[in-house]
Homo-oligomer: A and B are copies of this chain.
Amino acid sequence: MAKATRSTNDAFARFKAYLREQKLKSTAQRDAIVEVFLDSAGHASVEELYGRVRKRHPGIGYATVYRTMKLLTECGVADERHFRNGEARYEMAEKSHHDHLICERCGKIVEFEERRIENLQEETARRLGFELRGHKMELYGICQDCARARRSSAAKN
């Protein structure tokens, strides 16, 4: 079950408000998808969301998940991103200023925030004549656990 934190409540409320504004309807399916998404701590793919929603709501179709995630993106609760293979993943939009550090071996995704980098991004854009609107940054590397695993397997050879 979703633990209702401050931010998930806000997000849920924002989604509901968006539906009202746009004269769209609340449905059990939409609620279920949004709950699962908010519960998923970000970086959920459509496939993962579909899988989890299906447990709670077996009849649901892929199309509804896609459509709902599009709504969530429109209302600013979710952000759509494309990682290495081009498949879409969604994350909470709230945490606006964070980026990703991804382990190339185990796929672990760590979020981080580094204001100094963002300042330099702003400065760089300005230098090139752009008005900065957003950014995307992913660092790829090997995490501690995997580095350790590699060392011990190397030791065997």
Interface residues of A (CB under 8 A from B): 82-88, 101, 103-104, 110, 112, 114, 116-117, 120-121, 124-125, 128-144, 147
**Distance, CA A142 to CA B147, complexed state (A):** 40
Q: Could you tell me if A129 and B117 are in contact, using CB atoms closer than 8 angstroms? A: no
Q: How many copies does the complex hold?
A: 2
B88, B101, B114, B132: the one within 8 Å of A120 (CB)? B114
Q: Could you tell me if B124 and A103 are in contact, using CB atoms closer than 8 angstroms? A: no
Instruction: Write the nearest CB–CB distance from A77 to chain B, whole angstroms.
Output: 19
**Distance, CA A90 to CA B112, complexed state (A):** 28
Measured CB to CB, the nearest residue on chain B to A104 is B133
Measured CB to CB, the nearest residue on chain B to A80 is B84
